[in-house]
Structure 1
Amino acid sequence: MRSASVLAFLNAFTSGAIAVSVSGAAEGFAKGVTGGGSATAVYPTTNDELVSYLGDSVARVIVLSKTFSFIDTEGTTTSTGCAPWGTASGCQVAINQDDWCTNYEPDAPSTSVTYDNAGILGILVNSDKTILGSGSSGVIEGIGLRIVSATNVIIQNIEVTNINPHYVWGGDAITLDGADMVWIDHVTTSLIGRQHIVLGDSASNRVTISNSEINGYSPWSATCDNHHYWALYFTGSNDLVTLKGNYIHHTSGRSPKVGGNTVLHAVNNYWYANSGHAFEVGTGAYIVAEGNAFQNVVEPVEDPIDGALFTSPDTTTNEVCSTYLGHVCQVNAFGTSGSFTGTTATNFMSDFEGKNIASAAAASTVESSVTANAGIGKL
């Protein structure tokens, strides 16, 4: 007769409830985040279960072991939008969200748009949640995630994809607004209408985005070249963002756009195949960029630079980092790319002092490390 423990294991196996736990721990500003902690894992099987688990007030570890598709679950809307970049093959057109076309593109020709309603507003994620993918099978399609007025959230090893990619304002993959202590790790985002990751105007406080793949390749883009323009948008109030070990590719701008009094540590990321600019540095941005690699990137930073950017230009200048970041900053690397235009602002570095700061490796190791490890299924 089988023992009770063996039967319990077999029951768990047949129900798909194989134990899954967070891999590693957050570095940088969100160090110490626990998400759902030691809560017993739940395994949603329907969209309704997933939405309920994400939005309730219970600490949870939520394991995704399938694709949850929200496409066609809330119907579609046909309305009049605009075509700021034309309607040729490969171009995105825009939904007239909040009169965007009317106010910002009044001269753009109008065009009919038909979009999936589910993608416009993401699923609400409450505090104390861990969202984990199992293997490479944890996929959310047609809708994003919104961490709004919530704290202590981990999202690891999932993919968010196919959110109205034809349309600007079609939806965002991951939104933070009024949040704190959020870790986004080994996440892949692809085929997104608007932002892949957006930190809204309210404070998102301490955030770490690591080992993730921002896949900007799309048949539709605002630059009409299969490179997504709207990628990473960090304009929150008093945010502290660590961006480490990410693979950001086939974009054409705003990857990231930074402003709104945001302190950003961009370290050991790999930018590849950007047909426009990577960094857009707005007023209120305070950025240290070190140990990153840029390959086939036309402009690593857009001109003009309205905020503060330390570009880690050489080992002598980089000694200043020791006082505030606890290590000498690593020089960035550029291959078949533009380079950082000369800015070595340091008057903001005290904002890093006493914080949890991610470690930095030499830029020469970044391309191989990031492409091998970033994104879903690469824990």
Structure 2
Amino acid sequence: MQDNAPARHRIPRRRTLPLTIGAGLTAVALVAGMGAVANAGEVSQANAGTGTLAAPALVGWATQNGGTTGGGSAAPVTVTTASALISAMQSSSAAVINVSGTITISGMQKVASNKTIRGVGANATITGGGLNIANARNVIIQNLNFRNASDDSINVQYSTNVWLDHLDMAEGYDGLLDIKRSSDFITVSYVHSHDHDKNMLLGHSDDNAGEDTGRLRVTYHHNWFDGTNQRNPRVRFGNPVHVFNNYYSNVGSYGVASTENAGVLVECNYFENVEDPYHLGEGSSDEGSLVARNNHMVNSGSGQTGGSVASIPYSYSCDAASSVKSIVTAQAGTGKI
């Protein structure tokens, strides 16, 4: 999705991901096999990766509005080709889709409601195109690599109850993970984004208040924003948007921007080598509100805050900000669940 804020800096290349396993969220449970998706608030997927960690519980906005269960207890189907993937994820039936190997798609391919799409192992990859979660409800995307998309790697619009989890995203064309146009009740967790400029946009444009006011409520937690230059996230209208326990490393332009009446809570994050960790307004967009608390700064600026943010309606637990770097670098990305 195009935006009015220009790119400002080149981004650094990806570093090696540590192999040690750190402590994660307290709400985890053991799962096995490729079985059913549990109810929101419980462990919500079976082990699709290497089995080194149990899948953390779903936390955040995607637990609200009836919860997010994806394909639920539908019998899993494994896909290895673009045609099989597209057919399965565009079906009108609930589906659990296991992606094996590298699948090349073209353009933005629609994902229908009641779908779980997850990679098998650490190397399952979608390349060439992106996933368009449009006019859908109850979707989970998990344990996948995204590379070289011709537009956005993932776009969410007019959709509710979406969980985007344990992804590795890089080298896209426009946004890596954009959420816009009246979407709501979304959680983005354990994503490692790197080697890209415009990372995660939340809110289509400054003149879209009619669709977006009272919506665009998103939780971003335990993500690794790894040299992603800007939009980590860039927020319009959503209130409250919750940004907690993320690790920001070597971000060249800015971390979080709150604009156009948004309300963003930035808490318990670890900022390292980030001159501008968060601020109000961006480009031609007016200022929103931003509250920051309990963040850990290493060679980083102090950030800009102002205004008030609506209360968070769900239960969550912040890891100590000083521990977030070790936790997130061990657990974000693919092959960890």
TM-score range for the pair, normalised by the shorter chain length: 0.7 to 0.9
Q: Is the 8 A contact 1:195 1:232 kept in 2?
A: yes
Match for residue 368 of structure 1? 326
Q: Aligned with 2:219: secondary structure?
A: strand
**Alignment partner for residue 270 of structure 1, among 235, 247, 263?**
247
Match for residue 310 of structure 2? 349
Q: Aligned with 1:289: secondary structure?
A: strand
Q: Is the 8 A contact 2:216 2:238 kept in 1?
A: yes
Q: Is the 8 A contact 1:64 1:137 kept in 2?
A: no
**Alignment partner for residue 198 of structure 2, among 215, 223, 230?**
230
Match for residue 149 of structure 1? 135
Letter paired with 2:323: T
Q: Is the 8 A contact 2:279 2:303 kept in 1?
A: no
Q: Map 1:299-378; keep pairs closer than 5 Å.
A: 299-302=276-279, 304=281, 306-312=287-293, 331-341=294-304, 343-346=305-308, 348-350=309-311, 352=312, 355-378=313-336
Distance in 1 between the 2:57 and 2:98 partners? 17
Q: CA deviation at 1:357?
A: 3.9
Q: CA deviation at 1:24?
A: 3.8
Q: Aligned with 1:349: secondary structure?
A: coil
Q: TM-score, normalised by structure 2?
A: 0.77
Which has the larger Rg? 1
Post-superposition Cα deviations, 1:162-198, rounded to whole Å, max 9, x if no partner, equal: 12xxxxxx40011100111100110111111110110
Q: Map 1:53-132; keep pairs closer than 5 Å.
A: 53-70=88-105, 118=106, 121-132=107-118
Aligned-pair identity in percent equals 33
**Alignment partner for residue 178 of structure 1, among 158, 179, 188?**
158
Match for residue 120 of structure 2? 134
Q: TM-score, normalised by structure 1?
A: 0.69
1:37 aligns with 2:5: no
Distance in 2 between the 1:155 and 1:211 partners? 12
Q: CA deviation at 1:262?
A: 4.4
Q: Aligned with 1:275: secondary structure?
A: coil
Q: Is the 8 A contact 1:131 1:154 kept in 2?
A: yes
Match for residue 194 of structure 1? 174
Post-superposition Cα deviations, 1:196-219, rounded to whole Å, max 9, x if no partner, equal: 11012x21110000111111x2xx
Q: Is the 8 A contact 2:240 2:310 kept in 1?
A: no
RCO (CA 8 Å, sep 6+): is it higher in 1 or 2?
2
Match for residue 145 of structure 2? 159
Q: Aligned with 1:52: secondary structure?
A: helix
Unaligned 5+ runs, structure 2: 1-31, 36-44, 46-54, 205-211
Q: CA deviation at 1:44?
A: 1.3
Aligned residues: 272
Q: Is the 8 A contact 1:311 1:344 kept in 2?
A: no
1:245 aligns with 2:217: no
Unaligned 5+ runs, structure 1: 1-17, 71-117, 164-169, 218-227, 313-330
* Residue range with higher mean Cα deviation, 235-244 or 270-279: 235-244
Letter paired with 2:307: A
Letter paired with 1:212: V
Distance in 1 between the 2:144 and 2:75 partners? 19
Q: Aligned with 1:57: secondary structure?
A: coil
Post-superposition Cα deviations, 1:114-172, rounded to whole Å, max 9, x if no partner, equal: xxxx2xx3110000000111111321011111100000011111111112xxxxxx400
Pair 179,303 (structure 1): closer, same or farther in 2 beyond 3 Å:
closer
RMSD: 1.7
Pair 362,19 (structure 1): closer, same or farther in 2 beyond 3 Å:
closer
Distance in 2 between the 1:345 and 1:126 partners? 38
Pair 307,131 (structure 1): closer, same or farther in 2 beyond 3 Å:
same
Q: Which structure has more helix as a fraction of its residues? A: 1
Q: Aligned with 2:254: secondary structure?
A: strand
* Residue range with higher mean Cα deviation, 18-27 or 59-68: 18-27
Q: Is the 8 A contact 1:262 1:286 kept in 2?
A: yes
Q: Is the 8 A contact 2:80 2:102 kept in 1?
A: no
Distance in 2 between the 1:55 and 1:155 partners? 14
Distance in 1 between the 2:240 and 2:335 partners? 30
Letter paired with 1:274: V
Post-superposition Cα deviations, 1:339-365, rounded to whole Å, max 9, x if no partner, equal: 222x2533x324x3xx22432121011
